[in-house]
Chains A and B, each alone.
Chain A
Amino acid sequence: MYGVCAFFLYMTLQLPKSAQIYPLCVIALLAGLTTLHVINMIIGALREGVTNGLENFSGFVPSQFFTLLAMIVIYIASMPYVGFYASSVVFMALSLLFLRVKIWQIILSEIAVFALVYCAFTLFLEVRLPSGTLWGV
Chain B
Amino acid sequence: MTETLSLMGMGFVNALYPVNLLAMTAGVTIGIVIGCLPGLSAAMGVALLLPMTFSMEASTGMIMLGAIYCGAIFGGSISAILIHTPGTPASAATAIEGYQMTLKGQAGKALGTACIASFFGGLLSCISLYFFAPILGQLAMKFGSPEYFWLSIFGLTIIAGVSSKSMVKGLMSGALGLLLSTIGMDPMQGVKRFMFGQSSLYEGINVTCALIGLFSMSQALVLAEAKIKQRAEAAKFKDRMLLTKSELKEIAPTIGRSWIIGNLIGILPGAGASIACFMGYNTARQFSKRKELFGHGSYEGVAGSEAANNAVTGGSLIPMLTLGIPGESVTAVLMGGLIIQGLTPGPNLFVGETAKMTYTFFAGFVLIQFFMLGIGLLGCRGFAHIARLSDAILIPSVTILCVVGSFAIHQNYVDVVIMLIFGVIGWLSRKFGLNNAAIVLALILGPIGEKGLRRSLLLSGGDPSILFSTPVCWVLIALCVLGVLSPVLMDRMTSKAEE
Contact = CB atoms under 8 A, between A and B. Distances in A.
Given A29-B175, A92-B396, A109-B393, A120 B169 contact: no
B224 A22 contact: no
Interface centre among A15, A22, A56 (most CB of B within 10 A): A22
A26 interface: yes
A23 B179 contact: yes
Nearest to A33: B172
A83 to B, nearest CB: 12
B168 to A, nearest CB: 5
Interface string B209-229: 000000000000100111110
Q: B interface, how many residues as a size bin?
A: 35 or more
B7 interface: no
Given A16-B189, A19-B191, A29-B178, 15 more contacts: A15-B191, A16-B191, A22-B182, A26-B178, A26-B179, A30-B176, A40-B168, A60-B226, A61-B227, A65-B225, A75-B403, A101-B393, A113-B400, A129-B407, A130-B413
Contacts of A59: 225-227
Contact of A8 (B179, B226, B393, B411): B179
Contacts of A92: 396-397, 400
B416 A19 contact: no
Interface in A27-55: 27, 29-30, 33-34, 36-37, 40
B401 interface: yes
A64 B395 CA distance: 12
Interface string B170-192: 01100110110010001001010
A19 B55 contact: no
A34 B172 contact: yes
Contact of A33 (B168, B224, B395, B454): B168
A103 interface: no
Interface string A52-87: 000011011100110011001101100110001000
A38 B193 CA distance: 29
B416 A79 contact: yes
A134 B416 CA distance: 19
Interface string A95-121: 110011100010001000100110011
Given A1-B176, A95-B396, A56 B432 contact: yes
A interface, over-half SS: helix
A117 B401 contact: yes
Given A76-B417, A88-B400, A130-B413, A99 B179 contact: no
B189 A19 contact: yes
Interface in B51-92: 51-52, 54-55
A100 B391 CA distance: 12
Contacts of A8: 179, 182, 194
Nearest to A93: B396
A124 interface: yes
Interface residues of A, number: 57
B430 to A, nearest CB: 8
Given A29-B175, A101-B392, A125-B408, A68 B224 contact: yes
A100 B182 contact: no
B254 interface: no
A137 interface: no
A68 B54 CA distance: 30
A96 B175 contact: no
Contacts of B395: 68, 95, 99
Given A4-B176, A33-B172, A128-B411, A57 B400 contact: no
B249 interface: no
A29 B153 CA distance: 13
A113 B48 CA distance: 13
A18 B454 CA distance: 12
Contacts of A121: 51-52, 404, 408
Contacts of B392: 96, 99-101
Nearest to A19: B191
Nearest to B417: A76
Contact of B52 (A101, A105, A120): A120
B300 interface: no
Contacts of B178: 26, 29-30
B433 interface: yes
A27 B175 CA distance: 8
Nearest to A101: B392
Given A1-B172, A29-B175, A73 B420 contact: yes
A23 B227 contact: no
Contacts of B225: 59-61, 64-65
26 contacts: A4-B176, A4-B179, A22-B186, A29-B178, A30-B172, A30-B175, A30-B179, A37-B166, A40-B166, A56-B431, A56-B433, A65-B221, A68-B395, A75-B399, A75-B403, A84-B404, A88-B403, A91-B399, A92-B400, A99-B228, A109-B396, A109-B397, A116-B401, A124-B52, A125-B51, A125-B52
B390 interface: yes
A8 to B, nearest CB: 6
B147 interface: no
Contact of B182 (A26, A65, A96): A26
Nearest to B52: A120
Contact of B408 (A40, A105, A127): A127
B417 to A, nearest CB: 7
